[in-house]
Amino acid sequence: MAPPTRPFIFDDTQIDRSQLRKTAFNLRWATVEEDVIPLTAGEMDFPIAEPVSEAIQRHAREGYLGYCPKLGFETLREAICEDLSNRSISASPDRILVLDGAAAALKAACRAILNPGDEAVTFDPVDFLLPHCSELAGAKVLRCPVSPIDGSINFEALESLISSKTKALLICNPHNPTGRVLRKEELSAMANLAEKHNLTIISDEVWSEIIIGTIPMTSIASLSDEIRKRTITISGFSKSDGLSGMRVGYLHCENETIFNKIVDFSGVLDTTSGATALSQVAAEAALKEGGPWRSSFVEHLKSLVPYTADQLSQLAGVDCPKPEGTFLLFPSVSAFDMDCESLAEFILTEARVAVVPGAERWFGSRAKGHLRLSVATSRSVVDAALERLSALWGQQS
Q: Which residues are near a copy of itself by CB under 8 A?
A: 16, 19-20, 22-26, 28, 30-31, 41, 43-44, 47-48, 53, 56-57, 60-70, 100-101, 103-104, 106-107, 128-129, 132-133, 242-247, 267, 270-279, 282
Shortest reach from residue 75's CB to a copy of itself, in Å: 9
Q: Which is nearer to a copy of itself, 22 or 184 (CB)?
A: 22
CA distance 249 to 235: 6
CA quadruple 228, 233, 239, 241: dihedral sign: positive
**String of DSSP letters for 232-244:** EEEEESSTTTS-G
> Sheet of 166-172: strands edge to edge?
96-99, 249-253, 231-236, 200-204, 166-172, 119-124, 140-145
Q: How far is CA 380 from CA 15, 41, 154, 304, 322, in A?
A: 11, 19, 39, 10, 19
Query: Closest distance between a copy of itself and the C-beta of residue 253, in Å?
Result: 18
Nearer Cβ to a copy of itself, position 133 or 146? 133
CB of 166 to a copy of itself, least distance (A): 23
**Nearest residue (CB) to a copy of itself, 119 versus 127:** 127
CA distance 190 to 199: 10
Q: Is 151 helix (H, G, I), strand (E, B) or coil?
A: coil
* Closest distance to a copy of itself from the beta carbon of 221 (Å): 23
- The residue among 16 and 159 lying less far from a copy of itself, judged by its C-beta, is 16
Contact 306, 322 (CB under 8 A): yes
Closer CB to a copy of itself, residue 223 or residue 355? 355
Q: Which is nearer to a copy of itself, 84 or 281 (CB)?
A: 281
Q: Residue 40 Cβ, how far from a copy of itself at the closest point, in Å? A: 10
CB of 21 to a copy of itself, least distance (A): 10
Q: Return the amino acid letter for 69.
A: P
